[in-house]
Amino acid sequence: MKDKENWVNMYVYKHAHFGNCTLNREESAHSSLKHSLGTSSGKLKTVTLKVKKWQKISSAKEQKAIKNIINLGSPCDSTLLTNLTIAPKHISTIFSPEADGNCGYRVIAMEVYQDQEEWSKVKDKMLETFLKHQNNYYHGRMEHGNMPASNNPLIRSLQDKHSPLPQQHWFGTIDHPQLVANTFSRAVAVYWNSPIETGDCLFVPFATLPEKVEPIIIILDVNHFLLAKCKNTRNFCWPKINPFHKRIIQKHGLEDYSLMY
C-alpha cells in the first residue's frame, strides 16, 4: 500500500497542478512536496534546487553503475594495473570477464574459444585431462591427486558449474594454470597485480609442444582474473617456470618444453 501511495505522490508532484493553477492548489502541492522530501519550510526555489541536487547525485551513481556494466566483459585500461611486473607499454589489450567466481575459467574460454560463455566447456576439458593423468603426472601433487574423486578438491572445483561460483571452487594460481597448459597445449603466464612480491609464474605443457610460442597471459587483480595480450613477445622476459615442472618431466622422462622460454 505504501508503494502505491509513493507512486501516486510522485506522479502528483511531477504534474503537481493537473492544469489547475489556482493559488490554493499551488500552495498545497508546494507544502506537500516539501513534507515528502523532508525539507524545511521555504521558497519553492529552495526545494527545487534540492531536488535537482539529489537528481544530480542519483544520476552520478547511475552513470557509475552503467560504466561498470559497460566495462563488464570488455577491454580495460592497462594503466590502471599499477603493480604489474609487465610495463603497460608492453600490453596491447586487457579483457575483463564477468565476475561470477568463474572469471579464471572465463578468461581461458575467451582465449581458446573467443567466447567467455564457454567457461563450462573449459572446465569439462580440464577435468578430462586431470582424470586421464591423475595417476601419473598429477599423482600426489595436484591437490592430493591420488584422492578419490568424491574428496578431491580439484575435481570438485571442476565439476561445479554454478554461477555465482563458491569461493572454494575458484580458479587457482598453481594447479589450474598447469591443467590449462596441459589441456590446451599452451603455456600459461600468471601475473599478480599486487604491491608486494608475488608468485608470477609460467606453466608449460608437460607432454606436448606448445601450439603457440606466446603463452596465455592471465592477471590476478585482487580476486579477479583478467586476460592480457602483449604487443610484442619477441625477446620478452617471461616469469619463472612452475617449480614442480622440472621434477615431473624428469620423473616421467618427458621432453622439457620450458627451454623455449
Low-confidence winner among 73-87, 126-140, 154-168, 240-254 (lowest mean pLDDT): 73-87
Same domain, 158 and 46: no
* Global pTM value: 0.69
Task: Tell the burial category of 156 from Cβ atoms under 10 Å away from its Cβ (0-12, 13-18, 19+).
Answer: middle
What is the reported pLDDT for 86? Answer: 84
Same domain, 49 and 177: no
Same domain, 55 and 90: no
pLDDT of 142 > 70? The answer is no
Domain boundary among 13, 40, 71: 71
Span 231-258, mean pLDDT?
90
Pick 83 or 202 by higher pLDDT.
202
**What is the total count of domains within the chain?**
2
Same domain, 135 and 47: no
Pick 15 or 154 by higher pLDDT.
154
Same domain, 58 and 176: no
Mean pLDDT across the chain: 79
Q: Which domain holds residue 29?
A: 2-71
Q: What is the chain's alpha carbon radius of gyration, rounded to the nearest angstrom?
A: 28
Domain boundary among 71, 88, 113: 71
Query: What span, in angstroms and rounded, lies between the C-alpha atoms of 229 and 88?
Result: 11
Whole-Å CA distances, 126 to 11, 99, 122, 181, 209: 56, 20, 6, 9, 18
What is the reported pLDDT for 47? Answer: 59
pLDDT tens-place string over residues 166-201: 999 999 999 999 999 999 999 999 999 977 766 899
The conformation of residue 168, written as its DSSP 8-state character, comes to G
Spatial CB neighbours of 116, under 8 Å, sequence gap ≥ 6: 73, 97, 98, 106, 107, 109, 110
CA angle 126–132–137, rounded 5-degree value = 90
Low-confidence winner among 2-11, 125-134, 191-200, 228-237 (lowest mean pLDDT): 2-11
What is the CATH classification number for the domain harbouring 227?
Answer: 3.90.70.80
Pick 183 or 136 by higher pLDDT.
183
pLDDT of 45 > 70? The answer is no
Domain boundary among 15, 37, 71: 71
Same domain, 19 and 83: no
What is the reported pLDDT for 51? Answer: 59
Query: What span, in angstroms and rounded, lies between the C-alpha atoms of 9 and 32?
Result: 9
Span 131-137, mean pLDDT?
91
What is the reported pLDDT for 199? Answer: 81
Residue 118 in 3-state DSSP? helix
pLDDT tens-place string over residues 59-117: 555 444 434 433 444 455 655 677 888 877 888 999 999 999 999 999 999 999 999 99
